[in-house]
Amino acid sequence: MRADSSEYLDTDLTEWEIGPFHGSLPAPMKLRLSLDGELIVGCEIERGYLHREIEKTMERLSWDAGIAMADRVDPESSASSELAFVAAVEGLASLEISDRTAWIRTLVLEMNRVSSHLGFFSRMARSAGAETMSQYVLRDRERLLDLFELMTGSRYLYRFFRFGGLNSEVSDGVLERVLTFCRELKLRIKEYNDLFSYNRIFLKRTQGVGLLDRREAMNFGLTGPNLRSTGAGFDLRVDQPYLKYQNLDLESIVQVSGDCHARYLQRLYEVDQSLNMIRLIVDQVPLGGASFEPLAKVPKGENYAMIESPRGLVGCHVVSSGGAEPVRVAFRTGSTAALSAIPGVLVGYRIEDLSVILASFDISMAEVDR
Amino acid sequence: MGTATLRVFGIEDPLVSFSLIVIGILFFLIVPGTIALGFLDRKLGANLQARIGPNRTGWRGILQPFADFLKLSQKNGSASFGSGELFWMGLALFFLFSNIGVVPFSRHAVLFDSPLALMLPLLLLLCFSFATLLLGFGQATVNGWFGGIRGIAQSVVGLLPAMTSLLALSLQTGDLSWANLIQTQSDGIFSWNAFSNPFLGLASVIYLCAGLVMLGLKPFDVSASRIDLHGGILSQMYGRRLILFRLLRGYGFLLWVVMTVHLFFGGWSLPFALDGVVSDLGSIPLSMAVDIGVLGAKSAILALFVFWVAKVNPKPRADQVTDFTWKYLASLSILNLLAVLLWKGFVHA
Amino acid sequence: MRSSSPSIAHSTLGYLGSMLSGMKTILFSMRATLPYLLGRGEQQRQVTEQYPDPVSSRSAEDLPKKSRGLLYNDIDKCTGCGECVQTCPTQAITMLAEPGATADKRWVSVFDIDYGRCIFCGLCVESCGPASLDHTRKFELAGGSRAALVQSFGSGEVTDGQRKKWLKLREMEEEDF
């Protein structure tokens, strides 16, 4: 509940600096808060603690090696940033992908979405003080990470998408295990709902807290679940489908209240949606090849590809001058807009709401700083 | 119970046996009790979270609290004690340890009794909880200050429900002395106050929750929370000071649970009116041991419920805690008092 | 805070409703976690792996075959082409090679992989022509110093005398041709 004017004490403001590392912060960042009593009246965020010069490094690496770097834009949702880069280059080099490649790519993207959202639930639960729920979710995510290791060789940074194909074949055994996992996770989600999602204490901490207006959200350029939880139903998979999303009968999920609970529920429903999609995909994956050719040179030009990642829209702008390395690779990520919206959202709430609000926006500083 | 109880173990001098009892309680009940609670907390938390918990130190990890103690005691930074912290320590030690004399652990060790004896632990713990303010202010950080303020707000708010539940109890037992309380509850499970009268059952729940609010214990421990208030009253506490803090808080919790068991769940009386058997046991140490065992078992079960609910649910905000206490605990406890009055008046007339 | 005052009945119902929903929440949460306290069901099994206990935790052999663990270079197959050095995004591989005893075989005197830089992307393994470089599934390489993080596969330095011998051998081979 945003404080109305009678609750402000109008005292001297206290300055309080938190960060860059703290248990209540979702990622390394520095927050400078101005507090009036216990209400936050101003906030400045300092970023840059996770800057790793990814975009610059990609300029000196070959195209193939660039995929390994593109992974690392956001390690938790690496499939999306990988795909953004790969799709942009494929567009530039006019490479076609086989049907099976497209289906498997969709599968990996949706599995990645589930993995990232499970991490979100864990952080959200922890920020509200429910350690038990946090541990349950992490336990389930471990099984998903094991599946990724089986499929791609690595738990987080897959380097699985290649120009024109995939890094390796995916066997039927793996697909079956994916299906089993989906079935079990659906049961677990029931358990989470019983325990946490509609828990009265959690509702009191998140309903009405961190309100974001739809217009404000669009003005800040928010995308992804953060935007859809305020009522604006823009989902790239539905509005401008890529890969095989048009075959999957998708609808945009939208919450209208725009508070922290809406953001939580939005991602909960999206996990459910992704699990349904994974089942459909595994049923429809055609047999075939998914091989790729190593790409030495990419024709001159530039291209931009957008992907709906778990945190928003990820876009990759690729500029090539016909050589063996890119001239420029620039990423546009979803968390950056969320970070810029946060100071406005925080005003009027109490200090104790800080960790809940920050966790609910699902910000990855790795994405913001690159 | 007077001087007879002081002739324990064949020692005639009352001062010596009093001191022995106090020291005995301190070392054989309080410290092990707090440590056992800490261990229960960790193992229970691990069990709930599908983990194993400490299992390498000692048999099944039972020495883990000792290992923690050793680890913390060899860590201390260069910062010296602030005056706030020193005051807090002094006050906390005084108020907590003066409870040793006034809370009996066995029928042969009721060291102090008077018509208002049951109020004493409550008031001493109230003063202990007020001392949190000094601790918070002594942290010299913004969040420490906030933690202290919240701590004291909770203490002030938690007093009323606890007091009114105690008054409701006094209507059942006649007055607030240990003798009457023990007398009323020695007839088997339905003579225990919580089960004898539905309103007193409600009073027992209110008393327990009010205590948790007052002392700032889980699940109402926002003032010390690392996540919400970035440490709050604990923001500068580490190393040896943290041990003291944990021990004192643990003892406060133990004391409150023991008080709840004494007041509402029969204290050391066994469920099947076997009390006479225990009284007739020949040796005093044996019956003391049985008493302590029964008390300990009941406290452990109650503590288990508190830990369970605390670990599984999210933490409410400080202002939500105080809202909850005023809206529900305080108002219900006052209505409850009236209801007990009416029950006694009409049902037992 | 409310604009209009609700009727007493309404507030009482609201009050009772909140109390009930609070109690329901506590009971539901206890019910959801009760199986964990009591049960030995499959869903409630303890998931802690007590590394390095071999029974309860996974070792390198339990990981999937594709797992990208530490690297291993079979130096006898290695031709010293240097593709891996070029491809590595973080310049983690250092290699020194020189002509060996025969014309088609180079002697790789130094082949160091610095795990302080390696990101386990697997590009070097892909680019290896003779397939001498491969991922193992091992994941344990904690060390006490940065030097301990470097794994060496090279065959070692050769003396000048050895080099002269090899030069002679290579020239003899050419004459035979």
**Angle at CA of residue A250, ends A245 and A252, nearest 5°:** 120
- Which residue is associated with the tokens 């082949």? C111
Whether residue B114 is predicted with pLDDT greater than 70 in this model: the reply is yes
Whole-number pLDDT of residue C1: 46
The packing angle between helices B119-138 and B142-173, to 10°, is 180
Q: Which residues contact B323 (CB under 8 A, 6 or more apart)?
A: none
The per-residue pLDDT for range A3-21, each reduced to its tens digit, is 766 777 777 788 888 878 8
Residues B318-341 have a mean pLDDT of 90
Phi/psi for A45 (5° steps) reads: -115, 135
What SS3 class is residue A150? Answer: helix
**Cα gap B164→B204, rounded to integer Å:** 11
Percentage of chain C beyond pLDDT 90 is 12
Residues 135-154 of C with CB under 8 A from B: none
Whether residue B15 is predicted with pLDDT greater than 90 in this model: the reply is no
Cβ contacts (< 8 Å) between A123 and chain B: which residues? Answer: none
Residues 65-84 of C with CB under 8 A from B: none
**Residue type at B71 in one-letter notation:** K
The per-residue pLDDT for range B140-183, each reduced to its tens digit, is 777 788 888 888 888 889 999 999 999 988 888 888 888 888 88
Q: Virtual CA dihedral for B183, B187, B193, B198, nearest 10 degrees?
A: -140
Chain B interface, Cβ < 8 Å to C: 44, 47-52, 55, 308-309, 312-313, 327-328
What SS3 class is residue C133? Answer: strand
Residue B169 CA from chain centroid, whole number: 18
- B327 Ramachandran zone, left/alpha/beta (phi>0; psi -120 to 50): alpha
Contact A209, A259 (CB under 8 A): yes
Residues 35-54 of C with CB under 8 A from B: 36-37, 44-48, 50
Whether residue B6 is predicted with pLDDT greater than 60 in this model: the reply is no
**Higher per-residue confidence, C46 vs C148:** C148
Contact A250, A237 (CB under 8 A): yes
Lowest mean pLDDT among A254-263, A319-328, B106-115, C116-125: B106-115
Nearest residue in A to C127, CA atom: A294
Mark yes or no for CB contact B317/A205 under 8 Å: yes
Sign of torsion over alpha carbons C45, C51, C53, C54: positive
The per-residue pLDDT for range B24-44, each reduced to its tens digit, is 777 777 778 888 888 888 888
**Cα gap A245→A247, rounded to integer Å:** 5
Half-sphere exposure of A196 (CA within 13 A, CB side): 30
Cβ contacts (< 8 Å) between B221 and chain A: which residues? Answer: none
Lowest mean pLDDT among A31-40, A234-243, B81-90, B200-209: B81-90
Chain B interface, Cβ < 8 Å to A: 45, 48-51, 142-143, 146, 219, 222, 225-230, 311-320
Whole-number pLDDT of residue A292: 81
What SS3 class is residue B182? Answer: helix
Mark yes or no for CB contact B47/C45 under 8 Å: no
Mark yes or no for CB contact B328/C19 under 8 Å: yes
**Cα gap A108→A106, rounded to integer Å:** 6
Percentage of chain B beyond pLDDT 70 is 89
Cβ contacts (< 8 Å) between C48 and chain B: which residues? Answer: 51-52
The per-residue pLDDT for range B58-75, each reduced to its tens digit, is 888 888 888 888 888 787
The per-residue pLDDT for range B282-293, each reduced to its tens digit, is 777 777 788 888
pLDDT bin (cut points 50, 70, 90) of residue A107 is very high
Percentage of chain B beyond pLDDT 90 is 11
Contact B217, B260 (CB under 8 A): no
**Cα gap C38→C49, rounded to integer Å:** 21
Q: Measure in Å the smallest separation between the Cα of B80 and chain A Cα atoms.
A: 23
The per-residue pLDDT for range A198-252, each reduced to its tens digit, is 889 999 999 989 899 899 999 999 999 999 999 988 899 999 998 889 888 888 8
The packing angle between helices A99-128 and A353-360, to 10°, is 180
Among C29, C38, C44, pick the best mutation site for testing chain B contact (most B Cβ within 10 A): C29
What SS3 class is residue C95? Answer: strand
Q: Measure in Å the smallest separation between the Cα of A335 and chain C Cα atoms.
A: 24
**Higher per-residue confidence, C174 vs C96:** C96
Cβ contacts (< 8 Å) between C64 and chain A: which residues? Answer: 146, 149-150, 153
- Rounded to whole angstroms, what are the CA distances from A331 to A55, A328, A367, C121? 8, 10, 9, 20
The packing angle between helices A131-152 and A99-128, to 10°, is 160
A140: exposed, middle or buried (Cβ count in 10 Å: 0-12, 13-18, 19+):
buried
Q: Give the residue from A259, A342, A347 showing the smallest Cα distance to A7.
A: A347
- Which residue is associated with the tokens 């995939």? A166
pLDDT bin (cut points 50, 70, 90) of residue C54 is confident
The partner residue sitting opposite B48, judged by closest CB among C15, C19, C37, is C37
ipTM above 0.90, yes or no: no
- C79-104 in b/e form (b: 16+ CB < 10 A) is bbbebbbebbbbebbebebeebeeee
Whole-number pLDDT of residue B1: 41
State the DSSP H helix or E strand holding residue A17, giving kind and residue range, or none if neither: strand A14-18
Eight-class DSSP state of A98: -
Residues C124-136 have a mean pLDDT of 89
What SS3 class is residue A155? Answer: coil
Whether residue B225 is predicted with pLDDT greater than 60 in this model: the reply is yes
Give the full edge-to-edge strand order of the sheet including A14-18: A14-18, A30-36, A39-46
Q: What is the mean pLDDT of chain B?
A: 81
Residues C141-150 have a mean pLDDT of 89
Mark yes or no for CB contact C45/B327 under 8 Å: no
- Rounded to whole angstroms, what are the CA distances from B227 to A127, B223, B224, B300, C154? 6, 10, 9, 28, 50
Whole-number pLDDT of residue A310: 94
Q: What is the mean pLDDT of chain A?
A: 90
Eight-class DSSP state of A287: P
pLDDT bin (cut points 50, 70, 90) of residue B135 is confident
**Cα gap B36→B42, rounded to integer Å:** 10
Residue C96 CA from chain centroid, whole number: 25
Nearest residue in C to B328, CA atom: C19
pTM, two decimal places: 0.90
- Rounded to whole angstroms, what are the CA distances from B16 to B23, B24, B172? 10, 12, 36
Whole-number pLDDT of residue A87: 94
